[in-house]
Amino acid sequence: MFVKRYIILQLCALCAHMAFSQAPADTMPKQKTLGVVVIYDNPVPFAAASRYTSLNDALGRNKSSTLTDLLQENTGIYLKNYGPGMLSTIAFRGTGAEHTALVWNSITINYPVLGLADFAVIPANGFSSVGLLHGSSSTLFGSSAIGGSILLRSKQGFSDNKRIQTQASFETGSYNRWFGNVNSYYSSKTFFSNTSLQWFSADNDYRFVNEFKLKKPIERQINSAIKQYSLMQDLGFKTGEYSKIVAHAWYNYTDRQIPPTLTSSNTAAMQQDRSLRLLAQWDRQAYNNRFYVNAAYVNDYINYADNYITSPSRMSTSTLQGVYNYTSNSQALDVKAGVEGQYFTADIKEYNGFKAEWRASVYANVSYAPDLRKWLLLSAGYRQIFVQGHITSAAPTFGLRWRIRPTIIFKVSASRSFRIPTLNERYYIPGGNPSLKPEGGWNYEAGVLYDRGFNNNFNFMAEVTGFAMQVNNWLQWQPTNFGYWEPKNLKQVLSRGAEASITVGYTGKKFEAKLNTAYALAIATNQKIYDGQQGIAGKDLIYTPRNVASAGLTLTWYGYSLFTNLQYTGMRYTTTDNAQTVDGYVLLNARASKDIKLKNFTLSIWLQALNLTNNSYFNLPYRPMPLRNYRVGLTVTFDKQLKNKSSNDK
């Protein structure tokens, strides 16, 4: 039953407002871009007291990476991965997969059915910006933003001179892997267009060590092929001196087989995912005031089948969203307020009929800087959500950012977050319960950031953050005496820990070196048990490692580049009584490339080796991961800026 609930997911997009995600590139705060981790100026409005990590530098390194690959290589965040191309979910600050918001251009695209997002089907190279907002942010993004938020921003922006950029990438690799991407970008003073087309396929019959057989033979994965297509289109028009219209469209199709575990038989399981996301925004900004209106539509469809079910499981969900937002800025005071509404529909046979639901939110955020240099910044916010069926939740937040010295920033914040029970948790038959309570609790964090440059070519940046988070009414599916599972507000969970990152960089005339490190300690335990299973009180949550770390070193010389990446994932408990575990593991990856520049063209050739030490490991029990494998590819980029014709040229 649990497997079936996972399989019949579907995707919608709902809430959230984020002015930064629609702002033109030239209005973004200036950042020091050095290495992968860039935290000096938080670009998320009204969240300056929270920890923010930018992954923008890493986006161009690997054209074929998914969001799973990007996060595993460059952050201290654990992703629960069922295998290459298979379901991949996140555990941010010790929370569950349902407690992280995935935000695309102001829309949270978590599945409304399960409340989570599948990072394996998100192509990272389709975005110009990827960032992580650590900690609770329900005031900004609504439901699910408890452990953190992943922010995706499409490429956009006007330019004084006309600019044309076209890029094509091709890659092949082990296990009959083929990848291609074509991107075309055009911008002028009044118009921009960005088009991205991607395709990917692989037999995915990778080699692994079967640890559960005598002599541990090397075997091939079965029933694991995958193919995927993605099309993104972004358009922007200036409709006046102070106003513009921006539109985004994203179609994603994935067809994948689902391999069995090492202890189960092959059922020839397969799943098709189709998602269409549309967003339009009208934006007017004059003087210190800004208004914008968002309208969004999302439709998702999933079809699952295997040898054990008599008919395929199909699910279709749709979401309509509208947002009205007003922002006022002055030298000392910034104010943002708005309203938004969502309308969800779900056509799923396990719900015993068509389901529809309205949600509405009102929110306000304020930041105040008593001095013009903004050495001290105070912020506060509040969101109230109303859900059809009388479920309401509130999310206040308070923050302080103090620049103690030019190179040292101290940050502290407190915020309340919530998660509305998913459609599955309320309507799935058998087991769903419409009377479930929302999850919620307070998050507290404090941190220090140090950033200093030396001799104009050496830079050192470090940040340490401590956090504590309590989540009440934690929802969990439990077996019943009647042979099916049901969700319950089972327990109270406490997660506490620390996050640390160090970035060191050197830039010379002919040589550059960058070292990026990230570490996360998250201790997530059951504090109170509301119903049965008192023996798990004080135990760690399953599939939640206490220690996760990554380190990346990039060396560049005369167009040659070498990138090495080391990942560590600690031991995870696999049973609620913490009696069984899956071992921790270390991965070493490497990538060598050469850039050749010819006038307006740049040719990049690369070779990548994954799991360089040929380590045999498991991310999840009985689901083996690949041994050493390789990829090789090339990228051709054409970039030209055209001068505008003057009146003398006519």
CB 494 within 8 A of CB 469: yes
Considering 10-14, 39-43, 206-210, the range whose residues carry the highest mean pLDDT is: 206-210
Question: Is pLDDT of 12 > 60?
Answer: no
Q: Is the dihedral of CA 234, 239, 240, 245 positive or negative?
A: negative
Question: Is pLDDT of 22 > 50?
Answer: no
Res. 333 pLDDT band, cuts 50 70 90: confident
The reported pLDDT for the residue numbered 310 is 60
The reported pLDDT for the residue numbered 2 is 33
Mind listing the pLDDT tens digit for each residue in 200-238?
999 999 999 999 998 999 999 999 999 999 999 999 999
CB 221 within 8 A of CB 256: no
Question: Please, what is the end-to-end C-alpha distance for the chain in angstroms?
Answer: 72
Buried b (16+ CB within 10 A) or exposed e, 532-555: ebeebeebbbbbbbbbbbbbbbbb
Question: Is pLDDT of 353 > 90?
Answer: no
Res. 412 pLDDT band, cuts 50 70 90: very high
> β-strands 100-104, 148-153: how paired?
parallel
Cα–Cα separations (whole angstroms), residue 15 to 102, 138, 222, 248, 574: 11, 10, 39, 16, 33
Q: Which residue has the higher pLDDT, 120 or 27?
A: 120
Q: If we measure between CA atoms, which residue out of 25, 34, 282 comes closest to residue 163?
A: 25
Mind listing the pLDDT tens digit for each residue in 44-88?
666 778 899 999 888 877 777 899 999 999 998 999 999 999 999
**Amino acid code (one letter) for 335:** V
* Burial grade of 353 (CB within 10 A; 0-12, 13-18, 19 or more): exposed
Query: Which stretch of 5-19, 235-249, 373-387 has the lowest confidence by average pLDDT?
Result: 5-19
Considering 312-321, 390-399, 541-550, the range whose residues carry the highest mean pLDDT is: 541-550
Question: Is pLDDT of 264 > 60?
Answer: yes
Query: Which stretch of 372-381, 418-427, 504-513, 547-556 has the lowest confidence by average pLDDT?
Result: 372-381
Can you tell me the distance from the alpha carbon of 511 to that of 535, in angstroms, rounded to the nearest whole number? 58
| DSSP conformation class of 177 | E
Mind listing the pLDDT tens digit for each residue in 573-591?
999 999 999 999 999 999 9
Full set of structural domains in the chain with CATH: 2-644 (2.40.170.20)
The reported pLDDT for the residue numbered 40 is 32
Mind listing the pLDDT tens digit for each residue in 145-162?
999 999 999 988 888 889
Question: Is pLDDT of 103 > 80?
Answer: yes
* Contacts of residue 23, Cβ cutoff 8 Å, sequence gap at least 6: none
Res. 24 pLDDT band, cuts 50 70 90: very low
Alpha carbon 61 to chain centroid, angstroms: 18
Can you tell me the distance from the alpha carbon of 251 to that of 276, in angstroms, rounded to the nearest whole number? 5
The reported pLDDT for the residue numbered 497 is 96
Phi, psi values for residue 493, rounded to 5°: -120, 140
Mind listing the pLDDT tens digit for each residue in 604-613?
999 999 999 9
| Residue 339: HSE in the Cβ half-sphere, 13 Å Cα cutoff | 4
The reported pLDDT for the residue numbered 645 is 60
Res. 465 pLDDT band, cuts 50 70 90: very high
Cα–Cα separations (whole angstroms), residue 144 to 439, 529, 571: 9, 22, 26
Can you tell me the distance from the alpha carbon of 393 to that of 147, in angstroms, rounded to the nearest whole number? 17
Per the prediction, the chain carries an average pLDDT of: 87
The reported pLDDT for the residue numbered 9 is 32
The reported pLDDT for the residue numbered 7 is 29
Question: Is pLDDT of 290 > 90?
Answer: no
Can you tell me the distance from the alpha carbon of 41 to that of 49, in angstroms, rounded to the nearest whole number? 10
Cα–Cα separations (whole angstroms), residue 85 to 120, 148, 406, 569, 626: 6, 23, 45, 19, 12
Res. 601 pLDDT band, cuts 50 70 90: very high
Q: Which residue has the higher pLDDT, 286 or 334?
A: 334
Q: Which residues pair with 305 in a beta bridge?
A: 270
Res. 18 pLDDT band, cuts 50 70 90: very low
Q: Percent of the chain beyond pLDDT 70?
A: 91
Res. 38 pLDDT band, cuts 50 70 90: very low
The reported pLDDT for the residue numbered 14 is 26
Over range 2-10, report the average pLDDT. 32
The reported pLDDT for the residue numbered 289 is 86
CB 582 within 8 A of CB 602: no
